[in-house]
Amino acid sequence: MNKKNLSLLRALYCIFLLQAALLVLIYETEMLPVGTLVYDSKSNYMVEMSGLLMTIICIPLALKLMNFSWVKKMLRQQPQKYLLLCIIRLGLLGVPLLFDVLAYYLLGLDATLGYLALMTVVAFLFIWPSQEKMEYECNSTTNQSSTQE
C-alpha cells in the first residue's frame, strides 16, 4: 500500500473518532438538549436494541474481517482490494459508534448505549492502519520470508 492510501485510511480512522468526540462535546456543553428522543419505553427499547445488535455484530466482524479465508484468498489474488476492505472495516466500527453516541444523548444518557460506544472505541484501537499490518494481512512475500527464517 502506498503512503497516499495509508494516509487516507488514517484520515478516515480519525474522522470517525473525531465525529464521535464532536457529538460528545456538543451534548456535554449543552449546545443541544439531552433526552429529546424520549417517547415511551417501547421506542427506547427498540433504539437500544438496534444499537446493541449493530454493535455486537459489527465489532467481531470488523476485527475478524481480514482473517476470513475468502478474504485472504481474495487479497492474495487482488491486493488492490485491501483499501476497500479497510474502508469497510472502518465503517463497520464507525457507524455503530456514531449511532451509539447519538442515541446515548438522544435517549437521555442511556447507560447501555454509553457502554456500547466505549466498547466500539476500544475496538478502534485494534484496527489502526499501518504498513506492517497491511503486509501481514495481505500475506505479502516480505512477511512470509521473514517468518520462514
C-beta separation of 96 from 59 below 8 A: yes
Query: Would you state the pLDDT for residue 139?
Result: 63
Q: Where are the domains of the chain?
A: 3-137
* Lookup: cell for 81: 482490494
pTM higher than 0.75, yes or no? yes
Mean pLDDT calculated for residue range 62-66: 91
Percent of the residues in the chain that have a pLDDT greater than 90, as a whole number? 50
Using CA atoms, how far apart are residues 120 and 134, in angstroms rounded to an integer? 22
Give the pLDDT band of residue 4 (cuts 50, 70, 90). confident
Cβ(1)–Cβ(82) below 8 Å: yes
The band of 142, judged by pLDDT with boundaries at 50, 70 and 90, is: very low
pLDDT reported for residue 43: 83
Among the residue ranges 10-14, 34-38, 44-48, 69-73, the one predicted with the least confidence is 34-38
Nearest residue to 16 via CA among 102, 111, 124, 146: 124
What is the reported pLDDT for 144?
Answer: 43
pLDDT value, residue 146? 45
